[in-house]
Amino acid sequence: MRAATMLCLLLLAFTGVACGSDEKSGEENNLIPGESAQEPEAAPAPKPKAGACQEVQPPSSRPDGGEKKPSAQLDSGKTYEVEVNTNCGSFTIALDQKASPATAASFVTLAKKGFFDGTIFHRIVPGFVIQGGDPTGTGTGGPGYSTVDKPPADVAYTKGVVAMAKTGEEAPGTSGSQFYVVTGADAGLPPEYALLGKVTKGLDVTQKIGKLGDPATEMPTQTVAIETATVKER
From the list 200, 110, 98, the residue with the least C-alpha distance to 151 is 98
Domains of the chain listed by start with CATH number: 80-233 (2.40.100.10)
| pLDDT confidence of residue 51 | 72
Q: What is the pLDDT, as a whole number, of residue 21?
A: 42
What is the predicted pLDDT for the residue at 49?
A: 57
Closest Cα to residue 231, out of 87, 115, 74, 84?
84
What number of H helices and E strands is found in the chain?
Answer: 4, 10
pLDDT in tens, 61-103: 999 999 999 999 999 999 999 999 999 999 999 999 999 999 9
Q: Is 120 within 8 Å of 59 (Cβ atoms)?
A: yes
Between CA 86 and CA 222 the distance in angstroms is 12
pLDDT tens by residue, 117-144: 999 999 999 999 999 999 999 999 999 9
Residue 176 has pLDDT above 80, yes or no: yes
Q: How far is Cα 198 from Cα 162, in angstroms, rounded to an integer?
A: 5
Average pLDDT for the chain: 86
Residues 19-72 have pLDDT tens digits of: 444 444 443 333 333 333 444 455 554 455 557 899 999 999 999 999 999 999
Q: Per the confidence metrics, is the pTM higher than 0.95?
A: no
Confidence band, pLDDT 50/70/90 cuts, at residue 209 = very high
CA neighbor of 70 nearest in space, from 145, 172, 168: 145
